Amino acid sequence: MANKKYEELSTQIIELIGGKGNVTYLAHCITRLRFTVKDKGKVKDKDIGNLSGVVGVNWSGDQLQIIIGQAVDDVYRLICKNYGFESAEAINENLDGKEKKKFSFNSILELISGIVAPLIPVMIAAGLIKMLVLIGDMSGILAADSPTSSVLSFAADAGFYFLPIMAGAFSAKKFGANMGLGMLMGAILLHPSFTGAVAEGAELTIFGLPIHAASYASTIIPVILIVAVMAPVERFISRYCPQVIRSMMVPLLTVLVMVPLSLVVIAPIGSYLGVYLADAFIWLYNTFGFIGIAVIACLWPLLIMTGMHQALTPYALNSFATLGYEPIIISCSIIHNFSQAGASAAVGIKSKFADTKAVALSCATSAVVGGVSEPAVYGISLKYKTPLYCAMAANFVAGAIIGINHVYAMVLGGGGIFGLPVFISPEADNLIWAVVACVIAAIIAFVATFILYKDPIQE
């Protein structure tokens, strides 16, 4: 029955593509048929997209990509057999042009941006809800211990806490894997049994291999790395798994392979990097003084982007316990909020696109008032690059000001405007210099972004 179905599909595809004579080249990857055609006008791509068994249709220049899914090899071989095309092995799934994109820092940013872009509305909503709860508490309209405040607080927190699950879905879409399995890999990192064991310091193993105890809530890089590895594993299993049991065995074997790989090797990479990063930052501060803080502040957006800023929390807590104050992490974090707000506000004012204006100004408000910078980082800085570099430059200058004037935080606190009271100390100028640094960060980021930012040609 399956062969008859694919036989009919292969015939329909060739007819709707304009016949064999309109095809100059045929290849396939793991999920797509790739036709290079002579005359695009003869191709009825909409009709092809409506065929039973076709998931989607996409043009890349003169190449028509017909997304079939796991059965692509069966359809491809029938077309080759029936129409005399030369059969070949599957090509690289990422072959979407004549040349491969060169690996670069910008390509990494673009990859992360492409995955996180669909999550921007979630983070904006969560950040603004946090802001409303905070304003409600400060104004006395909404008591902090009221049921409504509690519900709104955990609703906002959910938008960030469950990022690994949401990022898992869009990572899978980006890498060509099953979105459900991508979500599952993110959910595994957040399962109460795992997070509870981590909190209790329990030792976990799988197949005798030790699992690194770390918290992955509100992170995206670990799940992106996991899904990047999962995608070729899933394709490999699918390729060699018989069609009759493919729907059952492919997800089962993929998960059985990925669970130990994820918890033992891949996900802990970010955690280990965070520990070494904390040590490096302490060394920078002790060795270079205010320059060290300037460098740390400059890199802060990248830490937020990767989630590694969370690895610095133990250092901050230890500093409060031993010194009674903290001179690095809290300052850099709050400076970062103001620079992101300034850069986003500049984009919001300068952009000619209504959607960009709305998103940018929402991100700016969330950063400076709500103390939540993720929407600005992912929605504006990472997407358009120029605001990111301008904010990093602003952070460097503001970080130097913090370091030169020995600004320190007395307690842990939030970000943005309402986080500034953490700098209230016996020395009156401690708070003053903190405010000065934040204002300068916002001004430099705003002015630099306003001058340098240009709307993309295609929004």
> Which residues does the annotation mark as catalytic?
29
How far is residue 234's CA from residue 245's CA, in Å, rounded to a whole number? 14
According to DSSP, residue 420 is labeled G
**Cα gap 386→380, rounded to integer Å:** 9
Inter-residue contact 296 to 281 (CB < 8 Å)? yes
Q: Which of 272, 164, 299 is nearest to 225 (CA)?
A: 164
Instruction: Find all residues with CB under 8 Å of 145, minimum gap 6, and list them.
Output: none
Q: What are phi and psi of 122, to 5 degrees?
A: -65, -50
Q: What is the DSSP string of 337-400?
A: HHHHHHHHHHHHHH-S-HHHHHHHHHHHHHHHTS---HHHIIIIIHHHSHHHHHHHHHHHHHHH
- Concatenate the DSSP letters of all residues of 208-225 into one string: TEEEP----TT--HHHHH
Q: CB burial class (10 A; 0-12, 13-18, 19+) of residue 49? A: middle
3-state DSSP assignment of residue 25: strand
In 2-97, which ranges are E strands?
A: 23-28, 32-37, 56-60, 63-67
Burial (CB count <10 Å: 0-12, 13-18, 19+), residue 305: buried
Query: Among 49, 44, 39, 38, which residue's Cα sits nearest to residue 16?
Result: 44
